[in-house]
């Protein structure tokens, strides 16, 4: 029996990112199954080793995780279909580590798959039609959109701190530069700040190029005990800290600029016992440019209001003080509806030193933060601190 303390009793033993960005002839579950194979092969494990199943998708509802188990013909000892939006998979890794630490399962598979692009989903600008849904009863009558919610966050930030559209554009430009180094990325042609500012406005102040792309895709992560991971095919990625949080409108009195990342990030970093200066790179959910700025401020990498300067002048680029999303992120690599799993996959690959042209030099400690839902309305946040065996 391991004497390791949580969280450093579990590790990521295998990862796989589906290479496709457009899969009109595949289903969500097929993509998940292909990813499961990829991640298990990566770990040197098989389907029979899996006794914990974790997953969520745009269409999985009640019984979704049971449907997925049937599709894969697995009968795991532990199931978790938590769906808190795009951050779900970051959260699944935490839940898997906890279940493994508690002895409830030994090898967990975390899965995501989506055909958002080939279904032609209007994810950001499809308004809510749910006047009857208690959840949207007070937003549907007012034409709330996902991008509109983020745009209200951005406008408030600009008004309070003088943050500019140029500074937000720098984030999109940096993500595109990173994508140019990632052979799998969907959008690889470099863009400039002017390109972003000249792209059409979707919801002011956010332009088309401030918004993530829509792709198909999927991914898988294998989590197992650190002890077991040490005997497997690939170098274990240690789980050093984790945290989860929610933020919402409360009774109509919450501070819009304080997002869940503040609470979950602090918890994860305290658990890991690290300082901001220890972090070599960050994987940040980049649904929109403003999401990156908001997350970096709330994680404490800069003071509130200083995010605009922080992301400018190469601050979040490869070779800069805190490289963010070396894969090109959701803004340029892939965004199949829910992106959290790719934050974990890229973090693990970087920590294993497998990223070629986009490799972060000396990557030993990573922070990954997923946002689910919308920061201008209500959302979840999940943070992981991951590291190499130092």
Partner 1 sequence: MNSITHPSPYASWETRGFWEGAGRDELVLQKCNTCELIQHRPRGVCAHCLDSSGLVHFVASGRGSIYSYTVTEQNQAKGFAEACPYIMAYVTLDEGPRLLTVIVDCEPDAVEIGVSVVADFVSQERDDDERFAIPVFRLV
Q: Is 120 in the site for partner 1 (CB under 8 A)?
A: no
Size of the site for partner 1 (CB under 8 A): 42
Residue among 25, 120, 132, 189 that touches partner 1 (CB under 8 A): 132
CB 26 within 8 A of CB 116: no
Q: How far apart are CA 266 and CA 32, in angstroms?
A: 32
- Cα–chain-centroid distance for residue 82? 15
User: What residues numbered 155-184 form the site for partner 1, per CB under 8 A?
Assistant: 155-156, 159
Q: Which is nearer to partner 1, 128 or 291 (CB)?
A: 128
Stretches 17-25, 169-177, 195-203, 287-295: which one binds partner 1 (CB under 8 A)? 195-203
**How many other C-beta atoms lie within 10 A of the C-beta of residue 49?**
17
CA 349 vs CA 113, 218, 235, 354: distances in Å: 19, 16, 10, 6
Could you tell me the smallest distance in angstroms from the CB atom of residue 304 to partner 1?
15
| Rounded Cα distance, 28 and 348, in Å | 23
Q: Are 218 and 111 in contact (CB under 8 A)?
A: yes
Pick the binder of partner 1 from 27, 46, 131, 192 (CB under 8 A): 131
Tell me which residues in 347-386 interact with partner 1 (CB under 8 A). Answer: 376-377
Specify whether the CB–CB gap between 360 and 74 falls below 8 A.
no
- By CB under 8 A, is residue 151 in contact with partner 1? yes
The C-alpha angle 260, 261, 264, rounded to 5 degrees, equals 90
The correct pick among 200, 277, 319, 390 for binding partner 1 (CB under 8 A) is: 200
Q: In the chain, where does DSSP find H-type helix?
A: 28-43, 64-72, 88-101, 146-161, 165-179, 193-198, 226-229, 260-272, 289-299, 307-311, 340-351
Per-residue contact flags (x/-) with partner 1 for residues 305 to 344, judged by CB under 8 A: ----------------------------------------
138 binds partner 1 (CB under 8 A): yes
Q: Candidates 4-12, 19-27, 150-158, 323-331 — which segment interacts with partner 1 by CB under 8 A? A: 150-158
Query: Minimal distance in Å, beta carbon 297 to partner 1?
Result: 16
One character per residue 239-278, x = contact with partner 1 (rule: CB under 8 A): ----------xxxxx--x----------------------
Which is nearer to partner 1, 40 or 294 (by Cβ)? 294
Around Cβ 190, how many Cβ atoms within 10 Å? 11
Maximal C-alpha separation, the chain: 60
Closest distance of CB 154 from partner 1, Å: 8
129 touching partner 1, by CB under 8 A? yes
Nearer to partner 1, 328 or 376 (CB): 376
**From the CB of 202, what's the least distance to partner 1, in Å?**
5
State how far the Cα of 215 lies from the Cα of 225, in Å rounded to an integer. Answer: 33
For the bound state, the minimum distance from the C-beta of residue 356 to partner 1, rounded and expressed in Å, comes to: 37
CB-based contacts of 143, cutoff 8 Å, min separation 6? 127
Q: Which of these ranges, 12-20, 46-54, 145-153, 171-179, lies near partner 1 under the rule CB under 8 A?
A: 145-153
Residues linked to residue 12 through DSSP beta bridges, in sequence order:
223, 237
Q: Does 148 bind partner 1 (CB under 8 A)?
A: yes
The β-bridge partners of 206 are: 203
Binding site for partner 1 (CB under 8 A): 122, 125-129, 131-132, 134, 137-145, 147-148, 151-156, 159, 200-206, 249-253, 256, 376-377
């Amino acid at each position: 029996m391991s004497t390791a303390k949580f969280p450093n009793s579990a590790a990521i033993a295998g990862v796989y990112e589906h290479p496709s960005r457009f899969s009109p002839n595949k289903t969500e579950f097929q993509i998940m199954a292909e990813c499961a194979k990829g991640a298990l092969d990566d770990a040197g494990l098989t389907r029979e080793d899996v006794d914990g199943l974790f997953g969520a998708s745009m269409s999985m509802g009640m019984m979704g995780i049971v449907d997925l188990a049937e599709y894969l013909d697995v009968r795991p000892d532990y199931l978790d279909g938590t769906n808190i939006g795009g951050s779900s998979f970051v959260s699944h890794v935490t839940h898997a580590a906890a279940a493994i630490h508690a002895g409830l399962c030994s090898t967990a598979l975390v899965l995501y798959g989506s055909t958002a692009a080939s279904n032609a989903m209007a994810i950001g600008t499809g308004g809510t039609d749910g006047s009857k849904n208690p959840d949207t009863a007070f937003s549907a009558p007012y034409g709330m959109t996902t991008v509109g919610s983020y745009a209200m966050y951005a406008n408030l930030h600009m008004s309070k701190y003088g943050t500019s559209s140029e500074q937000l554009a720098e984030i999109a430009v940096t993500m595109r530069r990173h994508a140019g180094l990632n052979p799998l990325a969907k959008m690889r042609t470099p863009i400039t700040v002017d390109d972003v500012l000249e792209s059409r406005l979707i919801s002011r102040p956010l332009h088309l190029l401030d918004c993530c792309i829509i792709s198909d895709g999927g991914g898988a992560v294998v989590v197992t005990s650190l002890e077991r991971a040490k005997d497997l095919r690939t170098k274990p990625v240690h789980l050093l800290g984790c945290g989860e949080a929610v933020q919402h409108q409360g009774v109509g009195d919450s501070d819009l600029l304080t997002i869940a990342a503040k609470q979950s990030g602090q918890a994860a970093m305290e658990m890991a016992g690290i300082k901001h200066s220890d972090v070599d790179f960050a994987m940040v959910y980049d649904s929109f440019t403003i999401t990156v700025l908001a997350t970096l401020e709330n994680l404490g990498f800069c003071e509130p209001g200083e995010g605009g300067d922080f992301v400018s002048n190469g601050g979040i680029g490869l070779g800069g003080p805190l490289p963010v999303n070396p894969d090109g992120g959701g803004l340029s690599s892939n965004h199949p509806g829910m992106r959290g799993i790719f934050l974990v996959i890229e973090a693990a690959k970087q920590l294993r030193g497998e990223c070629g042209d986009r490799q972060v030099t000396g990557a030993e400690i990573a922070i990954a933060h997923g946002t689910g839902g919308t920061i201008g309305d209500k959302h979840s946040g999940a943070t992981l601190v991951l590291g190499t065996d130092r």
